[in-house]
Amino acid sequence: MHFDLLIKGGEVVDPGSGYQGRFDIGIKRNRIAAVEANIPAEAAFRVIDASGQIVTPGLVDLHTHVYHSVTTWGVLADPVAARSGVTTWLDVGSAGAYNLQGFREFIAKPSDARIYALLNISSIGLTAPTWELSNLNYCDVDLCRKLIDLHRDLVLGVKVRIDAATTSGTGIEPLRRARQAAEQTELPMMVHIGKAPPELQEVLPLLRPGDILTHCFTGQSMRIIDDKGKLIDAAKQVWDMGVVMDIGHGAGSFSFETAEALIRAGHLPDVISSDIHQFSINGPLFDLPTCMSKFLAIGMTLPQVVEAATTKPAVVLGMQNEIGTLKPGALADVALFKVEQGSFTFYDIHMNPRVGKELLRNTLTIVNGRPMAIMSDPPPAPWIEMTEDQRNLIKWGHTPSGMSKG
């Protein structure tokens, strides 16, 4: 058998399938056909030399905002996918019931990258920066369920943002309604936490196994550690019962202080996701590989980091046999990276620095067996103004595709 594409000479890192080491990857049409040592180059019509690089499954980003040109937050997925290795994107709550069909037609359908969604319990989604839950008339459980039932191939769960700005006086009621919608559709719920009120102790009892607590390593007032850096009992209880702890770095969440306290205690995040959007793409997030590199800098291993951005989110989506893996028969989504060695300064959302020795830099993204072409990002939305911190990052040589040395 001849392969359509052969990725040869790379160091495979795929914790989910157990492949670790020097393997070649043969692709036939849109599927992984073989993972073996020393497949002859003559066995393929096209060969990609991956020598000196690591080869992983295509990254699965469990928290993104890609409803471009329609919502405040959305970035265009394909340009970022081509330079970051993210092949599967879960847009979490950008679309509500009233604009989900537009998301399907104008975002998910034409994209080369694989795109799914969580439907916002607010029927207006994230058209505006926030406040989508401040009018309970928008939190229509029946309408949410109806639209999910019409789009079950696209919508994989329910999203609700719970913090002081989004609820604006409606308290915990939007979360209760999201809980109802999730149970009626038999899908998981993702809950965003940030600044109280509501309080974290009001949120946690409404979570069920398989639900996702995003921004789990936040430094804001709803953080899951106490003042001494210890995981609070209520958070440990839901984590132990099967709630998924998801990073969702973004522009207002990720804290090195919280992350280091939890990792020191042996509490690794289940999923590393970016929360990439118009306000985070220019730093300090930049992209998912940069976020993964931050976790390398604070003590996680490369296999652990790759697993948290491939295998584990694929399991959360119920797609572990299709994506997030390089095992034969899976979809041919593959990412190639150089692991650059040096001294790299990374920042959390509070601009607290940490120096790491490794940086993951994507060199090629393959979706459905086809390499993606590098393309330019569209200009920022008219309402985006660089913060002083972002301007400083650019001045210091940091770019949307990675970090500078030094």
pLDDT, tens digit, for every residue of 144-157? 999 999 999 999 99
pLDDT in tens, 41-70: 999 999 999 999 999 999 999 999 999 999
Instruction: Spell out the residues 6+ positions from residue 139 whose beta carbon is closer than 8 angstroms to its own.
Output: 121, 122, 123, 133, 170, 173, 174, 177, 178
Output the pLDDT for position 311: 98
Average pLDDT score over residue span 211-228:
98
Provide φ and ψ at 59, rounded to 5°.
-65, 145
| Predicted pLDDT at 395 | 76
Q: How confident is the model at residue 1 (pLDDT cuts 50, 70, 90)?
A: confident
Other Cβ atoms closer than 10 A to 240: 9
**Residue 401 pLDDT > 70:** no
Is the pLDDT at 393 greater than 90? The verdict is no
- The answer to whether residues 177 and 204 touch, using CB atoms and an 8 Å cutoff, is no
- Give the residue carrying structure tokens 């306000």: 279
User: Is the pLDDT score of 400 beyond 60?
Assistant: no
Q: Is 80 exceeded by the pLDDT of residue 402?
A: no
Decide if 66 contacts 75 (C-beta within 8 A): yes
* Residues 81-118 pLDDT 10s: 999 999 999 999 999 999 999 999 999 999 999 999 99
Count CB atoms within 10 A of the CB of residue 228.
6
Q: Are 323 and 333 in contact (CB under 8 A)?
A: yes
Kindly report, residue by residue over 300-334, the tens digit of the pLDDT: 999 999 999 999 999 999 999 999 999 999 999 99
Q: What structural domains and CATH numbers belong to the chain? A: 5-56+331-339+355-395 (2.30.40.10), 58-316 (3.20.20.140)
Residue ranges of the alpha helices (H) in 1-126? Answer: 77-84, 100-103
Helix (H, G, I), strand (E, B) or coil at 41: helix
Mean pLDDT of the chain: 96
- pLDDT tens sequence across 115-144: 999 999 999 999 999 999 999 999 999 999
Residue 404, pLDDT above cutoff 60: no
3-state secondary structure of 1: coil
Q: Give 269-292 pLDDT, tens digit per residue.
A: 999 999 999 999 999 999 999 999
